[in-house]
Structure 1
Amino acid sequence: MIPTQALVLTAGLGKRLRPLSNIRAKPAIPVAGEPLVHRLLRWLVGQGVRNAVLNLHHLPNTITGVIGDGSGLGLHIRYTWEPRLLGSAGGPRAMLPLLDACSTFIINGDTLTDMSLDRLAAEHKQSGARVTLAVVDNPDPLRYGGVIVDDKGWVREFLPPGQQASSKHFVGVQLVEPSVFDQLTLGEPASTVGGLYTDLVASEPRGIRAHRISGRFLDIGTPADYLKTSLALAPESGLSKLTGTGSHVDPSARLVRTAIWDQVTVEADCELTDCVITDGVQLPLGSRFTQQILLLQPGSVVPLVAPLVAKPTSSSEGATGV
């Protein structure tokens, strides 16, 4: 029987997605018209999950305002609050006491996949692993951290981005035994990679299993990734879903590969190509933008313009995603 409870990690700052994540927490950002976390929870419900805990830190109201108590989705939702970020291991340590002490899914709050949780659960149970990670072939080892897996399916090492070695890429879905986290101090920050999971690999060769998936996995790490994914999902949701609630686009405006958030006004003869227009922006007659993000700063009615494709940085945030 598939586990029916999950932790959804929604407390992160979403640094790589800035400036979009300055407006809404990353899980609350609309993807083809539906907030990412709502889309994720709907997927969980469709696979039998009935209880979930979400952790909160950055712009929490943008998440709770979308999800509430979960009843609209057929879920029982509870929340934990992190005054300081507890990390990829410390967060689950604080969340697990709110659920039964049994096998539990842990889902990254920016996950978009159509993989089967039933198959993940079956391999986890059959292998006897304490943690089972869903993985795909690493699409870009220079950009993403890697997971080294032996020929029998056991995780042997975690690699930082920039490594040329052939590796797997963790897609943000895992199944764990809660006892793995018992050794951690409640309320103290802790990491999985470079901490709990790295130690587990060293101490228990059959502790962490890799479950290879063939399903779809979509990335929204950067603003350009976000727009690409929204456009990819728009045909499924309807192209009108690229325009948010309460927004008005003049019929004479020309929009090409552009996402419009909520309460946006686009006046006549505007031309927008490869753009993201965030909540509350008003574009006057004849505005023209290409590959730009437009957003409002607090107290201002004049939108700030930022490039869709930012200059590369040395940040390794989300390097492994585990």
Structure 2
Amino acid sequence: MHAVIMAGGRGTRLQPLTTRVPKPMLQLLDRPMMEYILELLAIHNVRKIAVTVCYLPDAIREYFGDGSKWGVNLKYQEEPNPMGTAGGVKLAVHNNTKETLLVMSGDGLTDFNLSEAVAIHKQRGAMATLLLKKVHCPLGYGVVEIAENGKIVRFVEKPKTWTKGQSYCINTGIYILEPRVLDYIPANRPFDFGHELFPLLLQEGIPLFGYEAEGYWSDVGTLEQYYQSQIDMIQGKVRLNLPIEALSVR
């Protein structure tokens, strides 16, 4: 496995916290939120990791270095100009990998079983698998509709209404991709996974699946979510190695 952590965003919804600190470096309790992603990847034996950086990249590079402290091997790909989520990933792997790619956001918090998700991806013969989370209110998220066999049939971008009591599968921004998918990403302009690549793959009939993941997930995208994620950690809703001080509060 080869992972790519997307860590180049400006985190504008988290200002003023991100005025001088890149979003992946914001503290969740005792350490930067991207550190939890590294720890999760290491637990699932994903050791080769590329990190896409753009906004305040030195803060990320100086803290994580080569990744050896966490038992992983980190390489950095700086984007001179923002290339979008998919464009940045293509740049980071240079189109020369033959390995399955696990794409994660450096500014989220999750304890998903990544090994299980990859095994299902392989079992289905998927070219791309989106990890999904069931929620009752999908506002602010991209909704993914799947068939009984897990195949994605439709994308609904951030619906404005929803039905009370109904559950929706939302896109968590965690993807498992076969390297052939990179061929569909243009090299010379910004390109986005959710808005452009996945609808294109669906249109082209490429095997595109959704995997309903069990466990905790938060995109930590707003000040409210930033606060709530740390409350969830202290209350034991996330399976993580927490500091002694947090454990004593429970």
Question: Taking structure 2 as the reference length, what is the TM-score of the superposition?
Answer: 0.88
- Structure 1, residues 89-136: CA drift from partner, whole Å, max 9, x if none? 111111122873211100111221111111111111111111011111
Listed one character per residue, the Cα deviations across residues 267-313 of structure 1 (whole Å, up to 9, x for unaligned) are: xxxxxxxxxxxxxxxxxxxxxxxxxxxxxxxxxxxxxxxxxxxxxxx
Report the CA distance between 1:239 and its aligned residue.
6.7
Query: Which residue number in structure 1 is paired with residue 190 of structure 2?
Result: 189
d(CA) in 2 for partners of 1:98 and 1:42? 26
Contact 2:95 2:182 survives alignment (8 Å): no
Is 1:64 the equivalent of 2:61?
Answer: yes
Q: Distance in 1 between matches of 2:93 and 2:161?
A: 33
In structure 1, C-alpha distance between the alignment counterparts of 2:91 and 2:188, rounded to whole Å: 6
Residue 231 of structure 1: how far off its partner (Å): 2.7
Give the aligned residue type for 2:210. Answer: A
Shift of 1:190: 0.8
Corresponding residue for residue 81 of structure 1: 78
> Are residue 17 (structure 1) and residue 14 (structure 2) matched?
yes
The unaligned stretches of length 5 or more in structure 2 are 237-241
Secondary structure at the residue paired with 1:95? helix
> 1:137-156 CA deviation, whole Å, 9 max, x = no partner?
13422222211112221112
Tell me what 1:282 maps to: none
Alpha-carbon separation, structure 2, partners of 1:183 and 1:208: 13
The CA deviation string for residues 226-273 of structure 1, in whole angstroms up to 9 with x for no partner, is 1121232246624746xxxxxxxxxxxxxxxxxxxxxxxxxxxxxxxx
Distance in 1 (CA, whole Å) between partners of 2:155 and 2:5 is 22
1:106 and 1:99 mapped to 2: Cα distance?
16
Task: Indicate the residue corresponding to 2:162 in structure 1.
Answer: 164
Q: Secondary structure at the match of 2:148?
A: coil
Q: In the aligned structure 2, how far is the partner of 1:90 from the partner of 1:219?
A: 20
For 1:96-245, list aligned pairs within 5 A.
96-97=93-94, 100-161=97-158, 162-164=160-162, 167-204=168-205, 207-234=207-234, 237-238=242-243, 240=245
**Alignment check: 8 A CA contact 1:219 1:229 kept:** no
SS of aligned partner of 1:115: coil
Shift in CA distance, 23/99, structure 1 to aligned 2, threshold 3 Å = farther
Equivalent residues of 2:137, 2:162 under 8 A apart: no
SS in 2 for 1:147: strand
C-alpha contact 1:6 1:106 (8 A) present in aligned 2 = yes
1:320 alignment partner in structure 2: none
Instruction: Confirm or deny: 8 A CA contact 1:45 1:75 kept in the other structure.
Output: yes
- Per-residue deviation, residues 46-69 of structure 1 (Å, max 9, x unmatched): 110111000111111221122111
> By how many angstroms is 1:172 displaced?
2.5
Which structure's residues are more often helix, by fraction?
A: 2
- Largest Rg, 1 or 2: 1
Gaps of 5+ in 1: 242-322
> Partner letter of residue 178 of structure 2?
E
**In structure 2, distance between residues paired with 1:73 and 1:187:** 34
Change beyond 3 A, Cα 1:44–1:97: same
Alpha carbons 1:55, 1:95 under 8 Å: kept: yes
Give, as a single letter, the amino acid of the residue that structure 2 aligns with 1:169.
Answer: I
The reply on whether 1:90 has 2:87 as its aligned counterpart is yes
How far apart, in 2, do the equivalents of 1:42 and 1:69 lie? 14
CA distance in 2, matches of 1:163, 1:82: 36
Q: Is the 8 A contact 1:6 1:51 kept in 2?
A: yes
Partners of 1:8 and 1:109 within 8 A in 2: yes
Separation in 1, partners of 2:189, 2:169: 29
Among all aligned residue pairs of Structure 1 and Structure 2, give the percentage whose two residues are the same amino acid: 27
| Cα deviation code 1:149-188 (max 9, x no counterpart) | 1222111222122243753112232110111111333242
> For the Cα contact (< 8 Å) 1:138–1:144, is it kept in 2?
no
CA 1:83–1:135 in 2, change beyond 3 Å: closer, same or farther? same
Q: How many aligned positions are there?
A: 238
Change (3 A) 1:152 1:103: same
